[in-house]
Amino acid sequence: MRDNAAGALLDWYDGNARVLPWRIAPQARAQGQRPDPYRVWLSEIMLQQTTVAAVKGYFLHFTERWPDVHALASADDADVLAAWAGLGYYARARNLIKCAREVSENRYGVFPDNAQELQELPGIGPYTSAAIASIAFDHPDTVVDGNVERVMARLNAVETPLPEAKPQLIAHAEALTPQMRPGDYAQAVMDLGATICTPRTPACGRCPWRSICKARALGIARDLPRKSPKKKKPVRYGRIYVGLRRDGAWLLETRPPTGLLGGMLGWPGTEWCVAPDDAPPAPGEWNDLGAEVRHTFTHFHLRLSVTTALLPEDVVPERGNFVASSKFDVSDLPTLMRKVHAVAAPALNED
């Protein structure tokens, strides 16, 4: 089954591969064109817990500004974090910088060609190392993301719910991974899940694996993969302070290097906890807008009360620094901080 199944999928992929800015088309690979490991690595880091649609623009911007690993390694941390703003999961950006510098400074700009060594680099775990080794270097490593899990669950009618089913699904994926064209095969399975074997409305009639899919035969394809009930996320609270100096400068701070939104530019605020203490970052007449900004992180929901102030030009902040309006770009802020700006700016402009 392995060779026949892989061959059928690769035939489908040759005619249906998605056109992605980091991908070498199967026809080009067949003619000897090889993927750039830097671009494969960058795309895989960006795609962690993020969609292809969200990543495309960021990838093009990054590769235009920093076309190789040496360029990225030489960039200022603040510039990279600002370019990453809005993509989320900011620990990825911090590790991206660390990894680029490790490869540039200690590995002569050359990425390792195997999963074991790749995992020694910052921010590269088992999935990402397998993806880079497979796609960039054509090693027969098994690549299993959410799309692949769904395809394997349906192909083999695995009714054990996720995440308990992960080891079983990985084993099924390993059994099908071919020695020939493993990089194309890895991308083909992901494309199958993204375009045909979709979560809610799989197009089974167009699937190259329809004849061997056990879930289709049983009529349960739409029901798989099953998932265990999610635990209810706790709610944390905080207060955020948006200060605008009368000359148009905004009061901002760089968050601590570790933790959520680590190293990112944002508005000063309290701790995010059950009962945060108030601590305005500068003396002034602060006004509670009576508005709440809500945001969801992986492990909790956050609710922030928004407080604003028009501050005199001679004010000395206790936290943060003023950024002149000519140098302020709201797009440099992470999504949460952009939400706060959208609420606070109209109120301050009225004043």
- By annotation, the residues acting in catalysis are 44
Contact 151, 192 (CB under 8 A): yes
Instruction: Give residues with Cβ within 8 angstroms of 184, minimum separation 6.
Output: 10, 13, 26, 29
- C-alpha–C-alpha distance, residues 58 and 332, integer Å: 13
DSSP assignment, residue 285?
Answer: -
Residue 92 bridge partners (DSSP): none
Amino acid making up residue 110: V
**Closest-CA residue to 348 (of 320, 325, 332):** 325
Q: How open is the CA angle 287-290-293, to the nearest 5 degrees? A: 110
- C-alpha–C-alpha distance, residues 77 and 303, integer Å: 29
Cβ-defined contacts of 213-218 (< 8 Å, 24+): 213/154, 213/155, 214/154, 214/155, 214/156, 214/157, 215/153, 215/154, 215/155, 215/156, 215/157, 216/154, 217/157, 218/157
- C-alpha–C-alpha distance, residues 317 and 2, integer Å: 65
H-assigned helices in the chain: 2-16, 26-30, 37-47, 52-65, 69-74, 77-84, 91-106, 115-118, 126-137, 146-155, 166-176, 182-195, 214-218, 335-350
